[in-house]
Structure 1
Amino acid sequence: MPSSPSLRDPAGNDMSVHSHPISSGNIRLSGRSGPGSTAGTVGSSRTGSSSSRGSKRGMLGLGMVQVPLVPARDPSEAIMTNPVVSEKNRFCGNCGEKVGRARGGQEGRTEGFCRQCGTQFSFTPKLAKGDMVGGQYEVLGCLAHGGLGWIYLARDRNVNDRWVVLKGLLNAGDAEAHKAAAAERAFLSEVEHPNIVKIINFSQHPDPRTGIPGGHIVMEYVGGKSLRELLVERRQDGSGEEVLPVERVIAYGLECLRALGYLHSKGLLYCDFKPDNVIQSEELIKLIDLGGVRRMDDTLSPVYTTPGYRVPEDELRGPGPTISADLYSVGRALAVLSFHFSFMRQHPHSIPPRNEVPLLQRYESYDRFLRRATNIEPESRFHDAGDMADQLTGVLREVLSEIEGTPHPAASALFGGETFTSGSDVGAHNADRMLSPPSPTEAAGLLPAPLVDPVDPAAQLLRSFAGMPPAELIPTLRAAQAPTPETLLMLARALITVGQHNEALDALQQFSSAVPGDWRTMWYLAVAELSTGSFQEARNHFDELYDHLPGEVAPKLGLALACERTADLETAARQYATVWSTDHSYVSAAFGLARIRVAQGDRASAIQVLDTVPELSSLYIHAQTALIAALATGATDSADYVRAGERLGRIGLDSESADRLAARVLESALTWLRSGGSAPAGQRLLDGDLTEEGVRANLERRYRSLAHRASRTSERYELIDRANSLRPVTLL
């Protein structure tokens, strides 16, 4: 599978670290999204696992989205009263010329011959009410017409009068349509999936005009409504601009990706995905109309697609349909269902700019997901339904977190958890550190690491090295006589951690040569740039990775860290907020967002963020100490100091840590009082009166307590001097 264009900064500059030969100009991101997957392959482990996931009743999107049930439709109510193919949909099956059109004020013929090539056409139903097909299926009428044939409702008189659907040829004179119908029958007989319509049988019935037997596919009847019908109904009930809720659209998309992943695993391409071909019946989603399905190695059969959803014509004429083309159509359908735009005329192969679509402005990850799925360059799209579903699931979690105001965390299929640590000190000094940007080395170290590819020969051994210190890990990995790709990646990360950047990039270059197109090359280059203070270069690479992996937390966290150091506080805050609102296990995002709010002068928002760190988190005490420091810094009334004191009394610090943080609060309160602040009579702070005399006495006591425990003589003298400076002046 070819790889995507080289990646460079907007000015076309080479983005190397320390002038090392590996740079963004050498890196190419392939369509694959995860370790162990290959772009363009089918039946990946994730696709298989996602296909086995069941939906709760009325719940789609892995059970996260409540979707209104669509009642099963009474089949008899769906029968067309006047089965006619619209003139605008009449084309020659051989040359594509318009046929059966009105001329001279007369209606177009439904049967005749093409004026261009002479091929016979017929758009009249071949079955009538009461016809018995195959001596078993009693026809009740027409349900619809499509690109390849009429669809009839019938009863199976041999099996409990069950409802079935018969699909016949639209044009009996079209040889290509005959071939397509035969091919569809063969494909359908191999398909067995809960999200795909089931074939029951294939029967023949003579054409009433010619007597020539015509084939009819017998399928299960799927009551309900197509996604297009649901969209049209919603628009008719409102102003005409309404669309389906984005969380519901994403849930539909995940079900459809399950079905397509299954077809791809069987070596089949769907080719004509669109909202019309997806039915919701109660809580079940089914893909219908497999008329355009073809085998992946079929280069001869005609391709049936729909404008507005299909890839550009040049692509179809070139390599022909591919997995990425199927997934492109899914992206187009999701866009059409979730926001209003001219997808046929103005944007037949593009999505409107983000600033023109409020939904895309609100959900940045969804915007990036759609743009990757529908990228004009095939190499830049998704190439595996399982990978695409993984990213779409991550996007859904973000969307639901914002809509519902509660996190929707989940383990990543590509990254481990964050490695954020804060040290053992939880006093005032640590509170200041937690509200200061991490150093470049610390920033790089806290980012999640990509998971080890399980198919790598050394995978099991490398997992056992996970807790080994870099100083021990590096010589161990270097000792490998024939290092595997995963060994090279682990070595690169360890070398970055200890600051040996040129050696790290050597290992990364070897990995890139062994596994071209793997996104992890760019990931570790971005991490290396972050660790050396090349923040703009790191930002560019993390932004590119965000485009490639829109449902992952790690690229957003890396982008936030880089943007914070390039003074783009708005972007940094947006990414930190997205990560934190989605998954509260990434506590570094909470501290990052709090830092940004403090820098922006929004102390109240910083306090609010820190207060959302869960009590069960190992960093809860650190968050509370930072919160207390934020409350005491820049307080404008006595209430903030009282709140800080109350928080300090509740978090259960050891005596020394409590005294140090209490001294921080009391110092701030004393400064406030000396500058003219005053508290209501009787108000107390940390077991003392909130007056200048009371705070001085309280602070003196804290300093003497700290001096008593100080291990260094110089520190003890300094604390005693501070205590003495606070003693009230007396005559004795």
Structure 2
Amino acid sequence: MGEACVRPECSGSGTIDADGYCDECGLAPAAGAAAATSTGAGPAPARRAGPGDGCARGECTGTIDADGYCDECGLAPLETLPPTQPYLPSARTASPDSSRSARTMSGRSRSHRSTRTGSGRSLSVRSSKGGSTGTARRGNLGAGLVTVPAVPRPDPAAAVLTDPQVPEHKRFCSKCDTPVGREKNGRPGRPEGFCTKCGTPYSFTPKLVRGDLVGGQYEVLGCLAHGGLGWIYLAVDRRVSDRWVVLKGLLDTGDEDALAVAIAERRFLAEVDHPNIVRIINFVEHPDLRTGSTDGYIVMEYVGGKSLKDIAGGRRTPDGRRDPLPVEQAIAYALEALPALGYLHSRGLVYCDFKIDNVIQAEDSLKIIDMGAVRRFDDEGPIYGTVGYQAPEIATHGPSPASDLYTVARTLAVLTFDFQGYSTAYRYDLPDPEQVPVFDRYESYYRLLVRATDPDPARRFASAEEMADQLTGVLREVLSLQDGRARPAASTLFGPELRVVDTELTTEPLDAAAAALALPVPRVDPGDPGAGFLATLVAGSPAEALAALAAAPVPSVELRLRELRAHLELRDDAAVDAALHALAQEYPDDWRTVWYRGLAALVIPAPDPASRPARIAEAAEAFDAVYDAFPGEAAPKLALAVCAELAGSGEDAAEFYRLVGSTDPAYVSAAFGLARVRLAAGDRPGAVRALEAVPEVSTHYTAARIGAVRARLRGRAAGDPLGPDLVRCSEQLAGLTLDARRSEELAIEVLDSALAWVLAGRPGAGPDAAVRVLGHSTGERELRFALEHSYRVLARLSDRTETRIEMVERANRARPRTWV
């Protein structure tokens, strides 16, 4: 680079070469040292390190890659480290099963956002289904919800390296991890030789050159890259249409672990056939004429495009810092990768090393590459993974489908925010939402990552399919929050809401039991022994359901949950307590048990008013645990909204109601709930917007429009500028099909407000403003005649004498004074 080396151990005449190292002492620049100017005028001003500069962090000997980060430790240079810039380490760690050692956590407690109604976080739940299932490909990248920019396929020949070398700072002995092949006394390090500590031979020289014909079929064009387990060569298959293929050999022929990995690949990777996983075509051998040995090579399909690391690294802010991917784009990548991992899990395989380096986007498709770490569940031998991505239990319990899902979540985190310290301070943890704006904005996304990276593998998602389902729900929510357009979808865990409470928008407090029993009911597990019996169960009342369940031929969890539901509907406190206690003893972490615990806390009345807040908090704690487990579901958020409303936390209730309603308007309870809390806060426009968002296809459309009319006018002072609201209410009522009684009742409410407004002098309306209400001009006389007519119609429709008399009296009071 031309700068003088200022290390004390250097002679003083050295300068920093283009590769970031001193040409005299061979070391990277000292940390914090400023280069001297060529004129000797003193230290040069600090600058941002560029490609080729040394890392200079402690004893690190890495260099800064094109993306601005050290290729050895993954950090940005110490002297120019931006306060919010991430780093992306890529070094693999191998943990031999025979010498696994326990790893300590980072010391940070996992911080979940506390329940919005103030309860603690003492509950957690697990999925009711275990194991992994194979999952089919979802379709084009983006799951039909997101448009991901396509990545064109480059010319493969253009990717061949002109001078393939393994940098000296990446050369280590495969046996004792001692640095080998390093510069000494100004002489470059040897790419081949023996470890001076243990004597193990090493070789970092490509074994194939341009023109080599491997296996009598694959003509080598050159090296594409080098990785943790071997050189990667580009070749042409001369026997099959001159197609492009990739040959992967061993980085170090003396590395027994690498050889074992290659053998493992040969044994089972040829069986892997999934559209999102690089295809293994063949396994061939080629003699090394220099050593007389025979080397093995895996032949894979060529995958053009860009890795997620390159895509993420190419995004920069105007000041040069990394610009994280949009959450929806990162989720789209994960949704494409999860079915591929689920496919591996269904075949008894684990991938082990999912990260941004090992996923390539080509056009509008995704491929998982680098199958070197794939192994069977019960394999012995070394386990390969990457610091910052690898799950904490790997060293003690080995890899599993749960540890693969952990790596997907960590990859999402790295892609979507500046995750500084993800391989150090946050190696097994996530920052708090207060530190990460994307977490604060998308709480469901944060909770999904928290569950997928739980220290206990049993509390993570039960399968790649389950994680994909929840991630899809989170994606729908994220997109709806961004543009306000609903993206409804049927839940696989919950049925639709049973009913909508308080559609009249009364001023009475919300009925806790009615609101709880109106929430969606968990769907019956089709694999349960009692599922068939429940499918045929026809019961008109809870008592009839209990009688039918008593005759069930086979006991099961689902039958017991159905009994519990019947006891809740009957408000049978003792039976509910007994059923919950039994389920909690046998299935304490089953999410359905926790869900019904929350329902019971709301349905069973508190013994005294003073204990009511504690019961609400207990319910909120249970629903919050279900939200943790299934962040893509609407039902737990709706339940938390009810709890917040009952607790008097209107702002929190409004946020949850809005979250549910904006994503799926089919949950009409969210619209009415949001309207209630908005009205309670004096936000009439907000209440009206919530109710008018109910779609016309909903069975509650008419009730919502009636509610919007009442929200506009009920409780309004006559001195308010009511003109526009009166016109809008008239238009909405004219578009509704109502029975005669309801039509006249609503007409009276509107006409009464209009009359009071006119008597107050029509505030907000000019003298010539033409305002018509239900087809009537806004003159006092005409409005009074209209009110009289509506009262008399109600009197005729009433079947009670007292009501008829009252309506006639009101009609007489409303009638204007006349000579007749």
Give the aligned residue type for 2:571: G
Helix, strand or coil at the partner of 2:202: strand
Pick which of 505-514 and 596-605 moved more. 505-514
Superposed displacement of residue 307, structure 1: 1.2
How far apart, in 1, do the equivalents of 2:356 and 2:383 lie? 18
How far apart, in 2, do the equivalents of 1:707 and 1:9 lie? 56
How far apart, in 2, do the equivalents of 1:478 and 1:77 lie? 73
Aligned mate of 2:782, from 676, 679, 694:
694
How far apart, in 2, do the equivalents of 1:252 and 1:66 lie? 11
Give the aligned residue type for 1:332: R
The match for 1:303 is 383
Of Structure 1 and Structure 2, which has the larger fraction of its residues in helix? 1
Aligned mate of 1:661, from 727, 746, 752:
746
Q: How does 1:359-398 map to 2 (within 5 A)?
A: 359-398=438-477
* Residue 283 (structure 1) aligned with residue 364 (structure 2): yes
* Residue 210 (structure 1) aligned with residue 282 (structure 2): no
1:432-490 CA distance string (max 9 Å, x none): 34x86641121112211111011111202202336643231122113436521100011
Residues 173, 195 of structure 2: 8 Å contact kept: yes
Q: How does 1:450-599 map to 2 (within 5 A)?
A: 450-465=522-537, 468-480=540-552, 482-532=554-604, 534-599=615-680
Aligned mate of 1:162, from 243, 247, 266:
243
Residues 228, 251 of structure 2: 8 Å contact kept: yes
Q: Per the alignment, do residues 335 and 412 of structure 1 end up closer, same or farther by CA in structure 2, a change over 3 Å counting?
A: same
Q: How does 1:84-123 map to 2 (within 5 A)?
A: 84-123=165-204
Aligned mate of 1:327, from 400, 405, 415:
405
Residues 472, 632 of structure 2: 8 Å contact kept: yes
Residues 491, 504 of structure 1: 8 Å contact kept: no
How well do the aligned residues superpose, as a CA RMSD in angstroms?
2.5
Residues 227, 275 of structure 1: 8 Å contact kept: yes
Aligned mate of 2:726, from 641, 652, 667:
641
Pick which of 231-240 and 585-594 moved more. 231-240
Residues 79, 143 of structure 1: 8 Å contact kept: yes
Give the aligned residue type for 2:782: G
Q: How many pairs are equivalent?
A: 691
The match for 2:323 is 242
Q: Per the alignment, do residues 196 and 437 of structure 1 end up closer, same or farther by CA in structure 2, a change over 3 Å counting?
A: farther
Aligned mate of 1:29, from 109, 122, 125:
125
The match for 2:793 is 705
The match for 2:106 is none
Helix, strand or coil at the partner of 1:164: strand
How far apart, in 2, do the equivalents of 1:74 and 1:24 lie? 54
The match for 1:19 is none
Give the aligned residue type for 1:95: C
The match for 1:405 is 484
The match for 2:419 is 341
The match for 2:102 is none
Q: Per the alignment, do residues 712 and 359 of structure 1 end up closer, same or farther by CA in structure 2, a change over 3 Å counting?
A: same
Q: Per the alignment, do residues 276 and 453 of structure 1 end up closer, same or farther by CA in structure 2, a change over 3 Å counting?
A: same
How far apart, in 1, do the equivalents of 2:758 and 2:334 lie? 60
How far apart, in 2, do the equivalents of 1:190 and 1:389 lie? 24
Residues 87, 101 of structure 1: 8 Å contact kept: yes
Pick which of 101-110 and 692-701 moved more. 101-110
Helix, strand or coil at the partner of 1:615: coil
The match for 1:449 is 521
1:494-546 CA distance string (max 9 Å, x none): 21122123312322333344445311110111111122362221112211211
Residues 253, 334 of structure 1: 8 Å contact kept: yes
1:121-180 CA distance string (max 9 Å, x none): 211111111111111111110011111110000111111211110000111011111111
Pick which of 227-236 and 255-264 moved more. 227-236
Give the aligned residue type for 2:593: T
Pick which of 578-587 and 401-410 moved more. 401-410
Q: Per the alignment, do residues 256 and 99 of structure 1 end up closer, same or farther by CA in structure 2, a change over 3 Å counting?
A: same
Residues 250, 396 of structure 1: 8 Å contact kept: yes
Superposed displacement of residue 94, structure 1: 1.9
Q: Per the alignment, do residues 148 and 527 of structure 1 end up closer, same or farther by CA in structure 2, a change over 3 Å counting?
A: same
Q: Per the alignment, do residues 436 and 51 of structure 1 end up closer, same or farther by CA in structure 2, a change over 3 Å counting?
A: farther
Pick which of 617-626 and 179-188 moved more. 179-188
Q: Per the alignment, do residues 414 and 331 of structure 1 end up closer, same or farther by CA in structure 2, a change over 3 Å counting?
A: same
TM-score normalised according to structure 1 size: 0.90
Residues 372, 382 of structure 1: 8 Å contact kept: yes
Helix, strand or coil at the partner of 1:543: helix
Superposed displacement of residue 241, structure 1: 2.6
Give the aligned residue type for 2:534: L
Helix, strand or coil at the partner of 1:204: strand
Pick which of 375-384 and 412-421 moved more. 375-384
1:703-728 CA distance string (max 9 Å, x none): 12111211122222222222222234
1:609-661 CA distance string (max 9 Å, x none): 21121111111100010011111122532221122122112212121111111
Superposed displacement of residue 236, structure 1: 7.8
Superposed displacement of residue 182, structure 1: 0.4
Residues 510, 646 of structure 2: 8 Å contact kept: no
Helix, strand or coil at the partner of 1:350: coil
Residues 83, 125 of structure 1: 8 Å contact kept: yes
1:376-398 CA distance string (max 9 Å, x none): 33333223111111100101111
Helix, strand or coil at the partner of 1:415: coil
How far apart, in 1, do the equivalents of 2:509 and 2:246 lie? 64
The match for 1:432 is 505
1:217-256 CA distance string (max 9 Å, x none): 0111111111111111123887323122211111110111
Q: Per the alignment, do residues 703 and 180 of structure 1 end up closer, same or farther by CA in structure 2, a change over 3 Å counting?
A: same
1:399-430 CA distance string (max 9 Å, x none): 1222333211111111111112469xxxxxx6
How far apart, in 2, do the equivalents of 1:436 and 1:254 lie? 45
* Residue 420 (structure 1) aligned with residue 499 (structure 2): yes
Helix, strand or coil at the partner of 1:139: strand
The match for 1:261 is 342
Helix, strand or coil at the partner of 2:297: strand
Superposed displacement of residue 694, structure 1: 3.1
Q: Per the alignment, do residues 231 and 630 of structure 1 end up closer, same or farther by CA in structure 2, a change over 3 Å counting?
A: same
Aligned mate of 1:179, from 229, 238, 260:
260
Residues 80, 141 of structure 1: 8 Å contact kept: yes
Give the aligned residue type for 1:42: S
How far apart, in 2, do the equivalents of 1:393 and 1:436 lie? 38
Superposed displacement of residue 730, structure 1: 5.9
